Every structure is written in C-alpha cells, then in structure tokens.
A and B are shown apart, each in its own frame.
Chain A
Amino acid sequence: MTTTAPEVVRPDPAADPSAAWSSPSIRLSHVSKVFGHGPQAVHALDRVSLTVGTGEFVCLLGASGCGKSTLLNLIAGLDAPSLGTLEVTSRPTLMFQEAALFPWLTVRGNVDLALKLRKVHKRERTAKVDELLDLVHLRDFARKRPHELSGGMRQRVALARALSQDTDILLMDEPFGALDAMTRDILHDELELLWSTTAKTVVFVTHNVREAVRLGDRVVLLSSRPGRVAAEWEIGIPRPRRMDSAVVAEQAATITDRLRAEVRRHGDH
C-alpha cells in the first residue's frame, strides 16, 4: 500500500459532482485477499478493482460473508492485500461492524480518547465531545460505560468516535444496522449533512438496499466467494432524499433484484 501525504485538494463537490471525483481518494486494482493456506484457504476477495473519488459517497452491498468487512479492513490498512495494489490519499477512519468501544472508558471517555490520540488540546476536547455526543443524541449517557448501553446506543458512540477523527476518508461497516427506523433516519440526515459540508470520502457498507440508495452517489454490489464487483449503479436522485420516497424505492427494487440473483447464484454453487 502506498500512502501519500495527507494533503489533498478537495474540489467543492456541490459545484460539479463528476468533476469532484476526477481525483480518486481510494484506488484498488486487482486486489485479492486469501485467508489461510492450502485446501482450507478462503478467497475472501478476488481481483477487486474499485476507485472512489474524493468526496464521493459509495455504498457497498453484498451477501453476508462476501468480503465487505475484509475490503474495509484492507482500505483502512489493518490488513494487507494478498495480491494487487491499493492506494489511499490519506489515513482513513474505520467504524467497525461491532462497536469496538473501550469497555474501561465511559461514553465520554471513548470519544475523548479518540480526540486525545489526535493531540487535540484538552481545553477544546470538552466542547468537541459535547458536540459529537449531541450529534448522536447521547449527551445524557455520557457517563455510562459501553456495557450499560444498548446495541444501537453503542453504535452511535462508535459513530461519534469515528466522526471525531476528522480524516478525509470515512469507512463505515454497517453503522446503522442495530438502530430503530427513526433514529436511523435522523442519523442519515446528520451523516449526509456532515459529508456535504466536509467533503469527506465515504465508503458505507450496508445490507439495506434502500439505505444504500438513500445515501450513496454510487452503489457497488459485491458477489460472493470469491468477492468481486458484480455491478454498480450511479444514483442520480437529487438530494435530499428520503428512504420511503418512490424514486428511492424504485431504484432499490432494481438493485434488490440483482442482489437476489447474486445470492441465488451463490446458493446454486
């Protein structure tokens, strides 16, 4: 993996979306990932080529076990590809599929540590933590520890922690999987607002096709075993979008059909 200096020129994506993505932020070419050796080996990813433009919001769909988390781990630099090359313009932040909060710290402590590790000064941290906890509506739970929270609340703390990172690339692995519909809708709005104001590049993994269409500039479908890019859709629906709008539902239906075919193909095999 080659990581260049985190200095990135970010054109205003609102002005002309296609121009904004002309400079890629993440580039994978023919990336394969094999776990284990010999007959036991699992080919999690097979020659995946994917380019994500600066400021682009890409949603990844695919059956369970098709390699989505593996892909994010590779992009985050937590794991190295078995084959192929991977380039990112700066160190990404990864929001894990499991919340992965530090159990010995309170909610506030978890977010605060993330800022501290970024060397944010103590004086600024307090206000920043409050702001982030407000964003995920967990200010009242600041003094609780992760094990005292529900699964959805833990996910929101993980979201606050990920957003505290202020990096240009944000990788999110099913971040809203455990949330009720109402909380999820609010966080969609917050995430979209944050993305459009900070021009972050986002790769967002989900099993919810409508969520993918609601959020993504592009939806990428991975096939299973081995994981490959099976199909891609540019989502041209103007923002703001709503999950329950007819256009979103229509686009989601097309993608769902393809996803079903993909899952079925895998089942036959």
Chain B
Amino acid sequence: MATTETPPTAATDLDAELAGLDALETGPSRSRLRVRTAWAATWPKLVAIALALLIWQVVVWSGWRPEYVLPGPAKVFSKLTSDFGALVEGSLTTLQRAVVGFALALVIGVVLGALVSRSKVLRAGLGSMITGLQTMPSIAWFPLAIVLFKLSEGAIYFVVVIGAAPSIANGLIGGVDHIPPVLLRAGRVLGARGFASLRHVILPAALPAFVNGLKQGWAFAWRSLLAGELLVLIAGNRTLGGLLDANRQVFDTAGLISVMIVILVIGIVVDSVLFGTLDKVIRRRYGLIDTAR
C-alpha cells in the first residue's frame, strides 16, 4: 500500500474493505449453467414423448383394433401434414375465442377478487361461493347457456368465463390473504395508503399466487371452450371443436387424433411455456425458489 501515489483516506480504505467483505457474501453468476439446466429439463420430456409414441405403435401392432379404427402414429402424422391448413385455421379461430374468453374472465375475476379480498361482507357472502363454482363441471352449464344465449358464441363465452373467472378471483384472494403482515406494516410505516398501498404493496405481494390463479383459470377456460365448441356448432366457423366433430361423423380416426394432438399441444404450450415461464420468472425474482434445488 505504501507505493500508491495518493494515500487512501481511512474512509475509502474502509469502503474498500467493506466492499471486499460484501463481495465474499454473494456467489458467482449462474448464467453459464442456464443451457445445461435447459437441457436437463428438456431431455426427459423428449424421452417421455418417444415412449408414448412407442406404446401407441405397439398397441396398433398388437392388432387390438383394426388399423382403420385405431391408426398408428405414422398415419396420424401424415394426416397432420395433409390437413395442416384446416388445422391452422381451426386453431386460430379457437385460440381467438380462448383469448377473448380468457380476457373477459380476467377482468371479471380481478374485479371480483379485488372486491372480495377488500371487503369482509363480500367475503362472507361470496368467498365460499367462488370456490364452490370451481367444483361445478363446466359442461353442466351448457344447457342453461344455450337457453340464455342460443347456439351462439355468447353461450361459449358464458361458460368459459364462469369456468375461469372463479380461479382467477381465488388466486388474487389467496394471494392477498397470504401477504406476510410485516410487508403490509412496512408499507404503512412508509406511508402507503389506499390506492398507493394497493399499487405498490398489495398487488405486487399477491402476484405469485395470482399467476397461479391465472394458470388454473387458463386450464378451466381451455377445457370449457373445447366442450363448448363440440356442443355449440356454428355453421361456417372452422374451429378445433368443429373439426373434432366433423372427423367423428365420417369415422376418420386419424383426423380425429390429429386434432386432439393439436388441442393437447396448444394446451401444454400455453400452460407450461406461457404461464409456467411467467410463474418461474416471478418466483425467481421474489426469491421463492430454493437455490439448492
């Protein structure tokens, strides 16, 4: 230290020492491990898909059902490519309905959840009813929906919203209920009142549980939507539900399975890629992921 041109003051010396101490306290960046973690998460999925295809093929080979009733993977995949245009068109219509229905459910769910979590009276009145609604199979709503809205998209949206909104509302209510009291107190000490408290403390603190509610709400919306498209067929609309029904009517099992695969893939992609990633990103941010795992 004697060779430095300007002798450091006691304060900067201490600063440097402290910075040294602090640097000891945090670990190295983990960005390089990302690729390896991604691969570790991917290969078991690939193996599982390969296994499923293999079992399917073995069942077909066993001759349990004739080939024209239960076609093998190869036949279904060729159908997937030959029907590609129709499948894309159907997917787009169905996805558009999903987005609209989910957006409606989101608005209603958030308003409902916010009201119930802030008001004792509403909670006593509606709290258990919202949870009860979730246990109601969505298909049971359709007769009523068709009576109310005729065979229209309105009937489908009605059931989608009534299926998804309670999950979204419950996610928000649960999130607000489980905010650590000390964070609310910290907010109060810092002078967060009313809307500022909602915006800066309550909503961010409830976010992880809310995203879980969104994920669950999406699953309900997607299921209700497909059920709706099978029941409420609107002429001239090419939808995934409509394609399922059309293939069933002409006994085209390969076509049927190819539509089912599309439905499954869309469901998985939205659930795990969209909501799953969102959930993971938020949990990592909030420090809710155990770094040892």
Contact = CB atoms under 8 A, between A and B. Distances in A.
A118 B17 CA distance: 34
Contacts of B285: 103-104, 145
The winner among A93, A102, A141 for most chain B CB atoms within 10 A is A102
A9 interface: no
B186 A102 contact: yes
A144 B287 CA distance: 11
Interface string A44-86: 0000000000000000000000000000010010100000000
B232 to A, nearest CB: 42
Interface of A is mostly: loop
Nearest to B201: A102
A185 to B, nearest CB: 9
B25 A104 contact: no
B148 interface: no
Nearest to A113: B200
Given A100-B183, A104-B205, A117-B200, A78 B286 contact: no
Interface in B253-293: 285-288
A141 to B, nearest CB: 7
A94 B287 contact: no
Nearest to B197: A117
B85 interface: no
Contacts of B25: 149-150, 153
Nearest to A186: B14
Interface in B158-208: 182-183, 185-186, 188-192, 196, 200-201, 204-205, 207
A258 B131 CA distance: 57
A144 to B, nearest CB: 7
A94 B189 contact: yes
A-side interface size class: 35 or more
A149 B23 CA distance: 10
Contact of A104 (B15, B189, B190, B204): B204
Nearest to A144: B26
Contacts of B234: none
B100 to A, nearest CB: 30
B26 A117 contact: no
Contacts of A165: 190
Contact of B192 (A117, A137, A180): A117
Contact of B186 (A96, A137, A138): A96
B121 interface: no
A114 B190 contact: yes
**Closest A-B pairs by Cβ, 9 of them:** A147-B287, A100-B186, A150-B25, A100-B182, A104-B204, A103-B286, A137-B18, A94-B189, A117-B191
Interface of B: 14-15, 17-19, 21-22, 25-26, 182-183, 185-186, 188-192, 196, 200-201, 204-205, 207, 285-288
7 contacts: A93-B189, A96-B182, A104-B205, A117-B190, A137-B15, A145-B285, A161-B190
